[in-house]
Amino acid sequence: MAEPCIISVAITGSVPRKKDNPALPVTVAEQIESTHAAYEAGAALVHVHVRNDDESSSSDPEKFARLQEGIRAHCRDMIIQFSTGGRGRAMEARGAMLYLKPEMASLATGSVNFPTIVYENPPDFVRGLAVTMRDYGIKPEIEVFDLAMLYNTVDLVAEGLIVAPPHVQFVFGVKHALPARRDILEFEVAKLREMLPGATWTAAGIGRHQLEVNRWALEMGGHCRTGLEDNVRWDKTTLAPGNAALVERVAALCAEYCRPVATAAQARSMLGIPAAA
């Protein structure tokens, strides 16, 4: 049987809620509700950011705690992944909530240009976050926005800062970072297999690239990410009705590629995360 596909849902992200995008969950209550619907639709993993009351990116550990508690109450064994991403958050605050010990947290292993800013991840900062995650028993999801980040990961694993085998996400379609090209993904996956045997991988396409990158990942044996953080559109003319609908669409694609949708319990086992208590 083909390997089950772990569907991750990135429910919110850090860009401002657009007036024309009412489906984006922003308050903690909206986020819990949206995550629950996505879990019911087949998502095994949720990637979360939290927002301040003015909807800017927040690092408030209290908000992360309430969100974590709500998701655990409604989606018992779903894997929770905190974002340590930038965009409006002070560098020293980006790991401030990791003491809450989510199952996973995102970790970009290098700096890259984003559409209008530099996404800053200096070497010592990356190492500090990696050590914090390792010491709390949090599994990082390595965010590869550019090729050097994959090679940096190999070094961090060799040094013992990241526990092997790692879980890597290849990100495509962010302006000024890697374009959505299948040959790049093929190269990255080949190098990952060669340099980090046993590593698991997923891929994310931003904006109009979301679905095509999902298809490539399904075909090549990887896992899939979807959600309103990456893409608020359903097609060229319509907005997505919500995170659950995007998850349902990927679940339908899984069937097309004969990949079962992983349950949260299966996802935990594939990623080496302990079963839910």
Residue 85 or 166: which CB sits closer to Zn ion? 85
Residue 144 or 154: which CB sits closer to Zn ion? 144
β-pairing, 57-58 with 50-51?
antiparallel
Q: Which of residues 123-182 bind Zn ion (CB under 5 A)?
A: none
Least Å distance, CB 179 to Zn ion, is 20
Give start and end residues of each alpha helix (H) in 51-146. 61-74, 123-136
Q: Which of residues 72-91 bind Zn ion (CB under 5 A)?
A: 83, 85
Least Å distance, CB 13 to Zn ion, is 5
Place of tokens 């608020």: 232
Beta carbons within 8 Å of 267's beta carbon, 6+ residues apart: 4, 6, 44, 45, 79, 273
Least Å distance, CB 229 to Zn ion, is 5
Least Å distance, CB 32 to Zn ion, is 17
Question: Which residue's C-beta sits nearest to Zn ion?
Answer: 83
- Is residue 211 within 8 A of residue 232, CB to CB? The reply is no
Answer yes or no whether residue 31 interacts with Zn ion by CB under 5 A. no
Residue 46 or 180: which CB sits closer to Zn ion? 46
Least Å distance, CB 100 to Zn ion, is 17
Cα-Cα-Cα-Cα torsion 136, 139, 145, 149, nearest 10 degrees, comes to 70
DSSP structure class, residue 230: T
By rule CB under 5 A, what count of residues binds Zn ion? 2
Beta strands in 147-191 (DSSP E): 167-172
Cα separation values, 189 from 103, 198, 263, Å: 24, 12, 24
DSSP structure class, residue 20: T
CA distance 135 to 137: 5
Residue 38 or 154: which CB sits closer to Zn ion? 38
Least Å distance, CB 86 to Zn ion, is 10
Q: Which residues bind Zn ion (CB under 5 A)?
A: 83, 85
